[in-house]
Amino acid sequence: MKHKFISKRYWKDNSTPMGQVDELLKQFDDVINLSLGDPDLITSNIIIDNAMKDAKLGHTKYTDFRGDPELRKEIITFYKEEYDMSINDEEIFVVTSGCLAMYLALEAILDDGDEVILQAPYFTPYQQQVELARGIPIQLNTYEEEDFQININRLESIITERTKAIIINSPSNPTGNTLSKKTMEGIRDIAIKYDLIVISDDIYTSFSYNEPFTPIAKIEGMKERTIIINSFSKNFTMTGWRIGNIIAPDYIIKTIQQINENLVFTAPSISQRGAIYALRNRKTIQPTMIEEYKKRVFYAADRINKIPNMSVLNPKGTFYLFVNIKKTKLTSTEASEVILKEAHVLTIPGIAFGDCGEGYIRIACTVDIPKLEEAFNRIEKMNLFKKS
């Protein structure tokens, strides 16, 4: 919006299809929402009840600047038990959401004009987050025919003297892809060769279906040049609690702390208590939840691959599907609009996730299987998706 009281940086409309969801939902009374990745399941009562109990016991004040010491201890235990990784307390910072974590990491490491390579298709906020930190986002396209793996030669070809960091996301939002060990080792080799830092957005680690998740920081030579972004939003269905953490070399954590003190001071104390009980009880809380979303995403993929002019790779992770609609001859925005208009099913156009997302729509399996069944029954009736 152009106005003398608005910063000129924001005169250009930077809104995305993700930000338009609320208005689109109002168009019809019976919309099935497969757009945003906000899980329909609520947070486990184990987390809720214990966090509320702690609130009544007085955990309603500022915590330590780097986060509740008890939570930091649980994070250390988690990484040791799950990945056999040793994390020092000074390498942990508890933060108000994974999104803020990403911004803090970028703000801490970037000088004006530094370039940040984004694994594309990418989580929509990355580009503007890099720009907010005065960096320059550079898209590194990945492709369905390459299993959405990062092509190491293509990665090396776009590195310049201003390249500072690479952002990776595995399992990936929006593609659902997981990076192979070979790919991560290739990224490691490039990061060391050009002295780069890798920011690893580890938001969907519990939703890795083919093989257990392995942090890139565990690969030899990477711990000292990796910033890990964690969130409790998806792994524990805690989106509204707005709680996450950063793991990075201690000098980066110290810088992040200084920046965060001028933003939100400390993460919400009650949310931090909830995170403690989430990690402590994960083996009770997570299996049923993960199995439910796995059933949904495999059901949805099976339905999609039976619909003409639609296709999708076999699910590997997350609860998203990146659906190829190129045979419709429509743009991703046009396809999403006609699906909403005719089937009353809301999806996200692939272009929202970078240029190489064109020709796709993203579906979030955040409704139960009966709702998914109804959604695909409606889509199957559309002329756009009938056999020619």
Q: What is the pLDDT along the chain (388 residues), one digit of tens a residue?
A: 788 888 888 888 766 665 565 566 667 789 999 998 888 999 999 999 999 999 999 999 999 999 999 999 999 999 999 999 999 999 999 999 999 999 999 999 999 999 999 999 999 999 999 999 999 999 999 999 999 999 999 999 999 999 999 999 999 999 999 999 999 999 999 999 999 999 999 999 999 999 899 999 999 999 999 999 999 999 999 999 999 999 999 999 999 999 999 999 999 999 999 999 999 999 999 999 999 999 999 999 999 999 999 999 999 999 999 999 999 999 999 999 999 999 999 999 999 999 999 999 999 999 999 999 999 999 999 999 987 6
Task: For residue 57, give the 3-state DSSP assignment.
Answer: coil
Angstrom distance (rounded) from CA 265 to CA 65: 7
Strand ranges, E, within the chain: 32-33, 92-95, 115-120, 136-141, 163-168, 197-202, 226-231, 244-247, 320-324, 345-346, 348-349, 360-364
pLDDT given for residue 39 in this prediction? 87
CB burial class (10 A; 0-12, 13-18, 19+) of residue 104? buried
CATH architecture for the domain at 45-283: 3-Layer(aba) Sandwich (3.40)
Query: Is the separation of the CB atoms in 269 and 68 below 8 Å?
Result: yes
Nearby residues of 38 by Cβ (< 8 Å), 6 or more positions away: 239, 366
DSSP state for residue 265 in the 8-state scheme: S
pLDDT given for residue 17 in this prediction? 64
CATH 3.40.640.10 in the chain is located at: 45-283
Residue 233: closest CA among 296, 278, 264, 265: 278
* Separation in Å, CA 14 to CA 18, 36, 62, 188, 313: 11, 18, 34, 33, 31
Angstrom distance (rounded) from CA 233 to CA 243: 7
Residue bearing tokens 């099913």: 345
Write down the CATH superfamily of domain 8-43+285-385: Aspartate Aminotransferase, domain 1 (3.90.1150.10)
Give the dihedral sign, CA 165/171/177/179.
Answer: positive
CATH 3.90.1150.10 in the chain is located at: 8-43+285-385
Rg of the chain taking only CA atoms, in angstroms: 21
Nearby residues of 158 by Cβ (< 8 Å), 6 or more positions away: 117, 138, 140
pTM reported for the whole predicted model: 0.94
